[in-house]
Structure 1
Amino acid sequence: MEASTSSIIYTTKSKDQTCPSNVRVKLDPAFNRKTLPNLEKEIEETWKRRLAELPSLFNGTKFRLHSVEENCETLTLNMGITCYKDFQGSNLSKELLILQSQGLCDHDDSQAYLSDALGVGALVQTVDNHMVLLYRSKHCGEDTEMWDRPGGHPEPKNLVGPTPVEEINISEMKEEAVIEELFNSITEEVISEVNIPASSLEPPGILGIHRSHLSGGKPNVEFLIKCKLTSSEVESLYKEGCQAEAYESEKIFLLPLEKALSAHSCDLDLWNKMAAGAKGLLSLYNMYKHRYLL
């Protein structure tokens, strides 16, 4: 039996999913990654090596999810700031277990020294009840040559411009703007990766949050986005190839949702080719389905 690839840390408490009005954000430098002299040197060396391997990588700023809090139907995200370079050099480090052990020892937190860049992903559900899977290309920084859901990261640069991570004062960011960026980012990812127009997408709702064990505990907010198009229409739009991030995937798979939800037991070949994010999303949707749709 396959070991779990993710840990669920939040599930929605509403049939309508968790919407922006039910989300709060606490922004504080205390929620940033802790630093270590040797680790910082290793991060720089890792980044140079990764750039040599994949010149298309870009060190954009990201939000860092430190922890979550729940109060009735309100979800609070405790967030700091990080960057993609730090993610590559910490969460994906060969010394990950040592870093997590030292974090527990020094701060009672296995993630203390890790970037934990906050990712987003979506189950895009067509009107004929299929979900979108993309086969990640070698141009991606993660999960290459795996079937994954559309996704990416909310971007601090959309709020503060192309400011280096060390110059961002996260405490000056507006909570409402960060929440808006969180929800807007996943819609933008679906548009730019799949070529579905915004007019064909309903507003996203949060299904839950999980941490990927295959990426050092990287947190991902997973959404449900209902699409007004059929699976064949989505496939045709994708194959036009004019989307902004067409280079990130090689092909699309419109998978019947019921087959996707049973893939872990009925289609192991497909399940084993799925990225951890897609697996975490399906686990969250299965929980949502059994709570609210049956």
Structure 2
Amino acid sequence: MEKVGCNGCSPLAYKLLFSCPFGLSLPQLSVVFDESYDRIPHSDMNLENSISEIWDQRVQKNESLFNGKKFRYGGYSQKSGDGSNEESFVCLHLGLTDYRTFVGTNLNPLWEKFLVASEDDSTQCQHTSSPVGNGAIVETSDKKILVLQRSNNVGEFPGHLVFPGGHPEPQEVGIETHKCSKDSKDYELVNKRVSEEMFDSIIREVVEEIGVPTTSLIELDSLTSKMPGCHQGGFALYKLMVEALKNI
């Protein structure tokens, strides 16, 4: 369901696929990491070839860009607790992709051609890289929200205002390929490690990124229009959380 954006935001800049204003604890989040959630190559070979072309063009313009493995978002499932327990339990369906394919599909000028006509997000985006990202809402002791300005030397949204964040990293849990089958004794262990990485990664990102002076703290609501759509969505989730806490 598409959400109407906050002040100054385009209502089409993002889509909230799922929101949990009270947050999810580690026991409430599970992961199925499987090659069935990998990207499906497009049947149009010219479109597929454009992935390499776009990447090569980007690297020529910015030699600091480098490729790396990422988890791919392939959907999710949700269930609520039984009886009086209203907690949500969410399972992320994750495959494997890389930054090069992300640049060549999601950031491709022809990105819309990679989409499939479907109301189901996973089906609609089956030909795109769609790496899993993360973002943190960092609130200071004086109730300000911290945002960062991206470098002009990055591969996506240079110079934009963003929340601290990045990506869960497959290499942090020793993943390079789909080496474990569903019948393997290590399969559940891998899924558990990936689930933990969803939490560990955002802590790393915050620690690495928030070394900024106090003067960089700004009034957030008036500046969301300068954010990428995914970060506008993050602010919308934050507002839902604030409203939920008011009703406790």
TM-based fold match above 0.5 = yes
Compared with structure 1, are the counterparts of its residues 70 and 41 closer, same or farther at alpha carbon in structure 2 (3 Å cutoff)?
Answer: same
The answer to whether the Cα contact below 8 Å between 1:31 and 1:64 also exists between their aligned partners in 2 is yes
The answer to whether the Cα contact below 8 Å between 2:98 and 2:129 also exists between their aligned partners in 1 is yes
Residue of structure 2 in register with 1:61 after alignment: 69
Matched, 1:12 2:28: no
**Per the alignment, in what secondary structure is the counterpart of residue 115 of structure 2?**
helix
Long gaps (5+) in structure 2: 1-7, 81-87, 182-186
Matched, 1:23 2:38: no
**Per the alignment, in what secondary structure is the counterpart of residue 216 of structure 2?**
strand
Name the aligned partner's letter for residue 104 of structure 2: G
The answer to whether the Cα contact below 8 Å between 2:21 and 2:244 also exists between their aligned partners in 1 is no
Matched, 1:3 2:18: no
Greater per-residue helix proportion: 1
From 174, 189, 200, give the equivalent of 1:184.
Answer: 200
Matched, 1:289 2:248: no
The TM-score normalised by the length of structure 1 is 0.70
Residue of structure 1 in register with 2:228 after alignment: 275
Report the Cα distance in structure 1 between the residues aligned to 2:35 and 2:100, rounded to whole angstroms: 18
**Per the alignment, in what secondary structure is the counterpart of residue 45 of structure 1?**
helix
Residue of structure 2 in register with 1:240 after alignment: none
Report the Cα distance in structure 1 between the residues aligned to 2:234 and 2:243, rounded to whole angstroms: 14
**Per the alignment, in what secondary structure is the counterpart of residue 34 of structure 1?**
coil
Sequence identity (%): 28
Report the Cα distance in structure 1 between the residues aligned to 2:153 and 2:136, rounded to whole angstroms: 20
From 140, 158, 169, give the equivalent of 1:155.
Answer: 169
Compared with structure 1, are the counterparts of its residues 108 and 11 closer, same or farther at alpha carbon in structure 2 (3 Å cutoff)?
Answer: closer
Report the Cα distance in structure 2 between the residues aligned to 1:176 and 1:124, rounded to whole angstroms: 26
Q: 1:96-144: per-residue Cα shift (whole Å, max 9, x none)?
A: 222213x65xx98210100000000010111211111111111221121
Compared with structure 1, are the counterparts of its residues 108 and 175 closer, same or farther at alpha carbon in structure 2 (3 Å cutoff)?
Answer: closer
The answer to whether the Cα contact below 8 Å between 1:118 and 1:153 also exists between their aligned partners in 2 is yes
**Per the alignment, in what secondary structure is the counterpart of residue 147 of structure 2?**
strand
Residue of structure 1 in register with 2:213 after alignment: 235
- Report 1:23-62 matches (<5 A): 23-36=29-42, 37-62=45-70
From 147, 151, 154, give the equivalent of 1:140.
Answer: 154
Compared with structure 1, are the counterparts of its residues 253 and 94 closer, same or farther at alpha carbon in structure 2 (3 Å cutoff)?
Answer: same
Name the aligned partner's letter for residue 67 of structure 1: G
The TM-score normalised by the length of structure 2 is 0.82
Residue of structure 2 in register with 1:83 after alignment: 98
- Report 1:247-266 matches (<5 A): 253-255=216-218, 259-260=219-220, 263=221
Name the aligned partner's letter for residue 31 of structure 1: Y
**Per the alignment, in what secondary structure is the counterpart of residue 94 of structure 1?**
coil
CA-CA distance at 1:168 after TM superposition: 3.9
Q: 1:1-59: per-residue Cα shift (whole Å, max 9, x none)?
A: 73331100111163xx2111100111111110001333332111111111011111111
The answer to whether the Cα contact below 8 Å between 1:34 and 1:113 also exists between their aligned partners in 2 is yes
**Number of residue pairs aligned between Structure 1 and Structure 2:** 223
Residue of structure 2 in register with 1:249 after alignment: none
Q: 1:274-293: per-residue Cα shift (whole Å, max 9, x none)?
A: 23233111100111111222
The answer to whether the Cα contact below 8 Å between 1:64 and 1:81 also exists between their aligned partners in 2 is yes
Name the aligned partner's letter for residue 172 of structure 2: N
Greater per-residue strand proportion: 1
Matched, 1:119 2:119: no
The answer to whether the Cα contact below 8 Å between 2:21 and 2:238 also exists between their aligned partners in 1 is no
Compared with structure 1, are the counterparts of its residues 39 and 110 closer, same or farther at alpha carbon in structure 2 (3 Å cutoff)?
Answer: same
Residue of structure 2 in register with 1:212 after alignment: none
Question: CA RMSD, aligned part only?
Answer: 2.3
CA-CA distance at 1:85 after TM superposition: 0.4
**Per the alignment, in what secondary structure is the counterpart of residue 77 of structure 1?**
strand
Compared with structure 1, are the counterparts of its residues 39 and 290 closer, same or farther at alpha carbon in structure 2 (3 Å cutoff)?
Answer: same
Report the Cα distance in structure 2 between the residues aligned to 1:170 and 1:138, rounded to whole angstroms: 39
Long gaps (5+) in structure 1: 196-233, 237-251
Compared with structure 1, are the counterparts of its residues 131 and 50 closer, same or farther at alpha carbon in structure 2 (3 Å cutoff)?
Answer: same
**Per the alignment, in what secondary structure is the counterpart of residue 235 of structure 2?**
helix
